[in-house]
Chains A and B, each alone.
Chain A
Amino acid sequence: MPDHGSSTRVLRWPDLVGGVLTVTPESPEDLEAYLTAGGYRLPDEQPTPALLRQHLEAIPAVTALRGRGGAGFPLWTKMETVLDEAAASGQTPVVVANGAEGEPLSVKDRYLMRYRPHLILNGAALAARALGAKTIHVYAHDQESLDALKTAADDLVAMGVPVPKVQIHAAQDTFVAGEATAAVRAINTKVARPLDHPPRMAKSGVGGAPTLVSNVETLARLARATMPDAAEEQSPLLVTLSGDGVSPTLIEVPYGLPVLTLLASPEVDAAGAGSVLAGGFFGGVVPISYDLGLSLESRAEHGGALGCASLYLIGEGTDPITVASAVADYFDGNNARQCRSCVLSTEDTALALRGIGATPDVLLSRLTRWSAQIVGRGACAVPDGVALLLRSLLRHYPEQLKAHLAAPPPTRLDWAGLTVEVPSARVLTTTGGVL
C-alpha cells in the first residue's frame, strides 16, 4: 500500500447549515447525483435574467456572499457592476470561474473542482444567466481539476442540460496565475501576469467584454445558497488546516467560528498551537487568542486578513518569525518578476528576516519602514502581502523579531514543510457530521 500518511483529510463541522460537503465527501459527485439533489433547476424556473436576478436578490445568503478567492469582495456588488457596464456598452458579459489556486497552503478550490465540479458549474451558470452571459470560462492549473470540470461540462452537453457554453483553460502553475487580472490576461493572451491598473474587468475583460471573475468556491456558494437549507446569511467556510501538531485537514465550518473552538474540537485536536499563519500568505502571523474568529471582520481586527481562510498552525516551540521568514522567501522566489519595486523589496525583506544586510537595529528600522512603504507597490498584491506580514510581526511579536534579527536561527524552516497535499479520494476520511 502506498503511504498516504501526509494526505489531507476532509471533515464536516457537526450540524453545519448550508455546507458544500456532501455526506460522502470522499466520492466525486457526478451529474446524475447532482441533478437528483436538485441541481441546475433554477435557471429554468426563472427564465429571464431579470427574473433570475430578482429571485437571487431575495436570498440573504446570495447578497451576503463575499468572494472566497482572498479579497472578500461582495459577489453581488461585482455582478451589479458588470451588469451596469454591459448596459452602458451594449456588450454581452462573460463569466470566468477562477480555480487557479496558487496558495500552497490551500486545497479548498481543488477539492471543490475535483469532487463537486457541478456545484461550481451550476454557480457559474447562475451568474451567467443572471448577467445575460453566453459563455463561462473555467480557468485552473490542477490537471485533475481540469479533467473533472471537462467531464462535468461534457456530461451537461450529453444530457442536454441547458447551461451556457463552457470553455476550459489550463492556467500556469504559478503563484500569481490566479490573480484576477492575470487570469483574464492568460485567457486573452496566455500571459498569466497581473496588470497594473488594467481596464476594469467589469468593463473590459475577456475579449474586451464586461467580465465577472469569480473564485470557484464563491460560485459554488452561490449555487448552494439557492438550494434547500441554505445558510441564513454568511455561508460556511472551507478551511485548509495544516502545520504543527495537526494532520493536513480540509474542514467546513460555520462563518465566524472562533479559531480556538475549531482547534479544541476532538477531531482536530490541535489545542497546543500558539500562533497561526492565516489566509494563505496574505493574512499575516497572529497569536491565537480567544477572540480570533474565522471571519473577515475578526481577522481585520487582529491586523490580518481572512484571505483563502487557510490556517497554518505554529506550535509553542516554534519561533513564529521563522515561519514568516519562510513566507518571505517564498514571495521572493515566486513573484511575477515584473515590478522592480516588488522584486527588490521582497528580496531585501527575505534577506533581512534571515538577518542579512545590516546590523539588527538597522534591519529592524528598515523592516518597520518597509511595512508601510511597500504597500500598493506592485501590479498585484504581493508587496501588500509582504507588508501585512511585516506589520503582523511588528504588532504581535516585536520582542521575538528583535531577538531573531540579532541571532537568526541557523536553519530556517524548510519550505516543503509548509505545503499541503491535495485531497486524494483513497485516503479521505470523514466524521459525517458527528465530530
Chain B
Amino acid sequence: MTIRVDPTKCRGYGLCEVLAPGHLEADDWGLAQSRGLPVDQQDVASVQAAIDVCPFDAIRWLEEPPTERSF
C-alpha cells in the first residue's frame, strides 16, 4: 500500500511530515507530498497517525497505484 495527499485538501499544516518523515515531505511551498514509497508493516502506525492528525483529511491509503490523470 502507498499513500496519497489530496492536493485539493492539503493546506500545508506540516503535522504529517513530522509524524511520518519517511513517507511524507514538504515541497517547496510547504505543502505535503507523499514520497511514493510502499508503506511497510513497521511504518503503518506512524503513517496512520499522520493521516489521523491532518485537519483536512487530506491523506489517504491507496490500495492500487493512482489512476491516470489526464485531459
| A377–B27 CB distance below 8 A | yes
Closest to B27 in A: A373
B residues in contact with A16, CB < 8 Å? none
Contact of A178 among B10, B60, B62, B71 (CB under 8 A): B71
Q: Give complex CA distance A366, B67 in Å.
A: 28
Contact string against A for B residues 5-17, beta-carbon threshold 8 Å, 1 for contact and 0 otherwise:
0111111100000
Q: How many residues of A contact B (CB 8 A)?
A: 37
Question: Which of A280, A282, A339 neighbours the largest number of chain B CB atoms within 10 Å of its CB?
Answer: A339
Question: Which of A307, A338, A344 neighbours the largest number of chain B CB atoms within 10 Å of its CB?
Answer: A344
B residues in contact with A102, CB < 8 Å? 71
A residues in contact with B8, CB < 8 Å? 196, 338-339, 379
Min CB gap A274→B, angstroms: 27
Closest to B33 in A: A377
Is there a chain A Cβ closer than 8 Å to B28's Cβ? yes
Min CB gap B53→A, angstroms: 18
Contact string against B for A residues 94-112, beta-carbon threshold 8 Å, 1 for contact and 0 otherwise:
0000000011000000000
Q: Give complex CA distance A339, B66 in Å.
A: 17
Contacts A196-B7, A377-B7: A69 and B27 contacting too (C-beta < 8 A)?
no
Contacts A196-B8, A341-B10: A380 and B31 contacting too (C-beta < 8 A)?
no
Contact string against B for A residues 331-349, beta-carbon threshold 8 Å, 1 for contact and 0 otherwise:
0000000111110110010
Contacts A370-B28, A373-B28, A377-B7: A341 and B33 contacting too (C-beta < 8 A)?
yes
Contacts A341-B7, A341-B31: A376 and B69 contacting too (C-beta < 8 A)?
yes
Contacts A197-B66, A340-B29: A70 and B10 contacting too (C-beta < 8 A)?
no
Min CB gap A203→B, angstroms: 11
Contacts from B to A (Cβ < 8 Å): 4, 6-12, 27-29, 31, 33, 60, 62, 66-71
| B71–A380 CB distance below 8 A | yes
Q: Give complex CA distance A135, B11 in Å.
A: 40
A residues in contact with B31, CB < 8 Å? 340-341, 344, 377
Contacts A197-B66, A340-B12, A377-B27: A282 and B71 contacting too (C-beta < 8 A)?
yes
Contacts A339-B7, A370-B28, A373-B28: A381 and B12 contacting too (C-beta < 8 A)?
no
| B69–A341 CB distance below 8 A | no
Closest to A373 in B: B27
Interface residues of A in 277-313 (CB under 8 A from B): 280, 282, 307
A-B CB contact pairs (8 Å), 29 listed: A69-B71, A70-B70, A71-B71, A103-B71, A176-B71, A179-B71, A180-B70, A196-B7, A197-B60, A197-B66, A282-B71, A307-B71, A340-B12, A340-B29, A341-B31, A345-B27, A345-B29, A366-B28, A369-B28, A373-B27, A376-B66, A377-B7, A378-B7, A378-B69, A379-B7, A379-B8, A380-B69, A380-B71, A381-B69
Contact string against B for A residues 355-388, beta-carbon threshold 8 Å, 1 for contact and 0 otherwise:
0000000000010011001101111110010000
Q: Give complex CA distance A69, B67 in Å.
A: 16
Closest to B11 in A: A340
Task: Classify the secondary structure of A's interface with B.
Answer: loop
Contact of A381 among B9, B11, B28, B71 (CB under 8 A): B71
Q: Give complex CA distance A176, B70 in Å.
A: 10
Q: Give complex CA distance A374, B9 in Å.
A: 16
| B70–A69 CB distance below 8 A | yes
| A196–B70 CB distance below 8 A | no
In order of increasing CB-CB distance, the 9 nearest A-B pairs are A71-B70, A339-B7, A344-B29, A70-B71, A381-B69, A341-B7, A196-B6, A338-B8, A341-B31
Contact of A340 among B4, B10, B28 (CB under 8 A): B10
B residues in contact with A200, CB < 8 Å? 67
A residues in contact with B11, CB < 8 Å? 340
Q: Give complex CA distance A345, B66 in Å.
A: 21
Min CB gap A309→B, angstroms: 13
Q: Give complex CA distance A380, B6 in Å.
A: 11
Interface residues of A in 138-171 (CB under 8 A from B): none
| A341–B68 CB distance below 8 A | no
Q: Give complex CA distance A103, B71 in Å.
A: 9
A residues in contact with B29, CB < 8 Å? 340-341, 344-345, 348
B residues in contact with A415, CB < 8 Å? none
